[in-house]
Structure 1
Amino acid sequence: MKEKQFWEIISQMHHIEEPYDWVINELSQKTETEIAQFEIQFEKAYMKAYNSNLWGAAYVIMGGCSDDSFDYFRGWLIGQGEEVYYKTIKNPDYLAEYILPIYEQEDLVPELEEMLDLALQAYTVKKTGDIEWNDKIWNDFNNIVEGLGYHYPKVDIEFDWKDVNDLKERFPKLWKRFGENPLG
């Protein structure tokens, strides 16, 4: 599965009432290799978003951002689709314009943990018929992904900002909107 096909699936899920179930079902109908290729495309986007600049933006938006929260934030960002993803990677301050006011109105946060294991769940459904966690299935899936040449990187992040004053200066639009009233 090429990057374009990955983003097409993400785009299609925006028009579905139960988007995560839909993606899992769609992927489970594909070959094991195609499911693994979806995972690889997801991981590439996910790791590209693992940077100090984006973490700083998430910190401003949510008034702080733990490791787990940043994982879910990156899942949310990918779930917004290709255009929003790349605009945000280029300029995280863009999210001040993009995040709808309903987030404040409904006390929502830009996090989507459900995005993180769509391919694994699809593979599990393909192999077992349900989405129950299974260590053997995960190991099998991981072996397929690695067999395609992808290895999950172990990366550390070095922050290039020290405190909220740095973030206030770096992200003026985000700070104006969320600095005093973060989401969550």
Structure 2
Amino acid sequence: MNTDTFWQIIASVKNSNNVNLALRTALSTLDKNDIAQFDVLYTQELRKLWHWDNWAFAYVMCGCNSEYDFLDFCNWLILQGKENLAKFLANPDCLAEYEHIPVKNDLPAPYCDELDLIAGLLHEDITGEELPYHNVVNFAPQGKKFKNKPKLLMEQFPKLYAKFWQQK
């Protein structure tokens, strides 16, 4: 398992109706070592995203206000693929034009629950052994905590703010 294969697997499941099942199915064709390495690579991507700057634009888009909401948002970001992820991190405001943001009850819902657990659960089902737990949520995000004042958020993310903020 290398990073190219990791991103190919993500690309192969991203448009599935049930991405968790699709990821589990895709990973089930691999040996236990590749499943374990996928889990390590996934956690590395999550840790890169675990930053207050990213939480700030998640807050503007969809009101992320807990570690678990932010984790589900990061899962969704990873699911968008390597190129999109790089683009969003370089310029979060471009998400205002992104056409593939899920909506629930007329509000943006860019979340993917438990995608980060799939490889570990599959590995345990196959081998009977748990993978090392790669905790992300219980660590403080990197960087400086953002200020949730509307004026500051509007200045930092004008397009996201204009499109999503009033919908809360």
Q: Considering the TM-score relative to the shorter chain, is it more than 0.5?
A: yes
Q: TM-score when scaled to structure 1? A: 0.78
Does the 8 Å contact 2:16/2:22 carry over to 1?
yes
Q: 1:159 aligns with which of 129, 141, 144?
A: 144
Does the 8 Å contact 1:60/1:175 carry over to 2?
yes
Q: Which structure has more helix as a fraction of its residues?
A: 1
| Distance (Å, rounded) in 1 between the aligned partners of 2:33 and 2:111 | 28
Specify the alignment match of 1:176 in structure 2: 162
Q: Judge which range, 172-181 or 151-160, deviates more.
A: 151-160
Distance 1:11 1:101, change over 3 A: closer
Q: How many residues were matched structurally?
A: 165
Q: Secondary structure at the match of 1:113?
A: coil
Q: TM-score when scaled to structure 2? A: 0.85
Specify the alignment match of 2:118 in structure 1: 118
Deviations 1:82-120 (A, max 9, x none): 121111121211211115476267545111113111111
Structure 1 segments unaligned to the other structure (5+ residues):
129-136, 144-150
Paired letter, 1:41: L
Paired letter, 2:68: D
Distance 1:79 1:22, change over 3 A: same
Q: 2:132 aligns with which of 142, 151, 156?
A: 142
Structure 2 segments unaligned to the other structure (5+ residues):
none
- Within-5 A mapping of 1:73-112: 73-100=73-100, 103=103, 106-112=106-112
Paired letter, 1:159: K
